[in-house]
Structure 1
């Protein structure tokens, strides 16, 4: 047996848009208020995650928001020779207003507006759902630069992302702009099939959890997008059924150690990074998805 096209069509649909948009706009207005402690600094507020990339499903209610400070940045100089690392250090001084300060100010602003609905989580500041407001996660971040060259401030090259720190001090560096742009390019290159197929995988994941075939947390949405992102464009066929079969068969035969995250800055499957998927969890998802397809 196989999952019928009609079910895949249902799973391909995008989740809530209006309520999520209203939630985002409300929180963005709060973060952008003229009386915040950071109002005079340079920063931007933007969406990331499934809603921001149009791959959200009905069971995904969280709105993921980033407020990123542009006035300072963290860096990775590991690819530079020693003399270029020294040139960088000579050209830059330590920031006086740091990520720690910025996150504390953002937390104070959100707590002042939403009161006890706000919780300073391990990674993101969580705002509970209330009335028409959806649950939201706000990440207070600073810029992040991975340098490829630094000869001077006028002769340098780097990939720019964002970074933040968990409550235990772990640095999390990611590249949401590249992620979003690459998803759009992939979607266009697959005759607009990529994003519906990503939603199908996410809904399948939800069904697997409901049926007790997969534990919650094994296959986060971000990594499912990454898994599908590596599938060649010519595997996306004329129907969802054909595309699923082509994609899964290709993934099962491929060398998954070479798979990249959608941002193309990290390998998708890597053991020692806080922003990558564990190979055994990917295998569990694939095994469960194949079993669900056969049992349908």
Structure 2
């Protein structure tokens, strides 16, 4: 028995909207406090993740927020010629505001607003839920530039992203704006069917984890979004059953997934030993679990799944 249409339709629904919007507004106000140590510097606060991309489901709680300082930036010169690397280094000016100082200033601003609800995690500051405020993760980042050209200070070209450090000192570079913009473009190109399909597959992940086909953490939402981004637009058709089966069939038939890209199109999706990529075994495990759940679905009419 396959997953019925009514279940897929329920899983396609957008999760909490009002409380996540209010949570973001509350934390954004705290980060934009005129008393913050970075007040007066160039920075921006924005949503990323499921809530930022309108792919959140009811079981997802954390609101993911980035505060990115543009007064300084990290960079990647791997795609430049030797001549252009030389030009960049000749024009480079050392930053006067350190990342560690910025991160400490962000922590101070959050603690001033939310007190002991703020905890330091490996990649972000975690803010516990309270009242109508949802739990949130706040990433303190510097701007990141992946250069593709640098002739001089005026003639240069780069992909703009963010850089931040984990508590063990690893720098992570990512491109959330490209990710978000590409998901929106995919959604529009599929007749607004892409994001509901993503929500279906996130709920498939949740159900597969509940019954033991997956372990918690095997299939982060970011990678599920990336996986479906690689599926051809024509597979997103009318009817949730037809779309889900078409996606699963396409993934099953494409056994060589080495060329799949992340939704930001700046990294490959399935690679081992890379902090911004999905380990290949876990990606395969998710696809197999989704297929198993589809093929072996049991009547769950007595249980409410949202």
TM superposition score category, shorter chain reference: over 0.9
Range 100-109 or range 250-259, more displaced: 250-259
Unaligned runs of 5+ in 2: 298-306
Provide the C-alpha distance between the structure 2 equivalents of 1:175 and 1:47, rounded to a whole number of angstroms.
Answer: 13
SS at match of 2:275: coil
Listed one character per residue, the Cα deviations across residues 67-107 of structure 1 (whole Å, up to 9, x for unaligned) are: 00011100001111222212111101211102111111000
Q: How does 1:64-103 map to 2 (within 5 A)?
A: 64-103=64-103
Deviations along 1:37-71, one digit per CA (max 9) or x if unpaired, are: 11110100000000010000000010000000011
2:275 is equivalent to residue 274 of structure 1: yes
Superposed counterparts of 1:9-28, under 5 Å? 9-28=9-28
Instruction: Output the CA distance in 1 between the equivalents of 2:2 and 2:200.
Output: 14
1:46 corresponds to: 46
Cross-structure match for 1:261: 262
Contact 2:33/2:109 (8 A) holds in 1 = no
Distance in 1, matches of 2:267 and 2:252, equals 20
Name the structure 1 match of 2:163.
Answer: 163
Question: How far, CA to CA, are the matches of 1:29 and 1:131 in structure 2?
Answer: 17
Is 1:251 aligned to 2:251, yes or no?
Answer: yes
Counterpart Cα distance in 1 of 2:290 and 2:84: 48
Question: Could you tell me which residue of structure 2 aligns to residue 178 of structure 1?
Answer: 178
Give 3-state SS (helix, strand or coil) of 1:172's partner: strand
Q: Following the alignment from structure 1 to structure 2, what is the Cα–Cα distance between the partners of residues 210 and 78?
A: 43
Paired residues for 1:109-128 under 5 Å: 109-128=109-128
TM-score, with length taken from structure 1? 0.98
- Cα distance in 1 for residues equivalent to 2:21 and 2:84: 44
- Over the residues paired in the alignment, what is the CA RMSD in angstroms? 0.8
Are 2:48 and 2:66, in contact at CA under 8 Å, matched by a contact in 1? Answer: yes
Distance (Å, rounded) in 1 between the aligned partners of 2:193 and 2:80 = 40
State the 1:155 CA deviation.
1.2
- How far off its partner does 1:113 sit? 1.4
SS in structure 2 at match of 1:152: coil
Deviations, residues 161-204 of structure 1 (Å, cap 9, x unaligned): 11101111111111111111100100001111100000000011
Q: Aligned-pair distance for 1:276? A: 0.6
Runs of 4+ in 1 over 2 A off after TM superposition: none
TM, length-normalised to structure 2: 0.95
Q: Tell me the alpha carbon deviations over residues 142-161 of structure 1, each in whole angstroms, 9 at most, x when there is no partner.
A: 11001111110111111111
Q: Which runs of 5+ in 1 are unaligned?
A: none
2:60 matched residue in structure 1? 60
| Residue 117 of structure 1: how far off its partner (Å) | 0.7
In 2, Cα distance between the equivalents of 1:184 and 1:13? 17
- What SS does the aligned partner of 1:257 have? coil
Indicate whether 1:199 and 2:199 are aligned.
yes
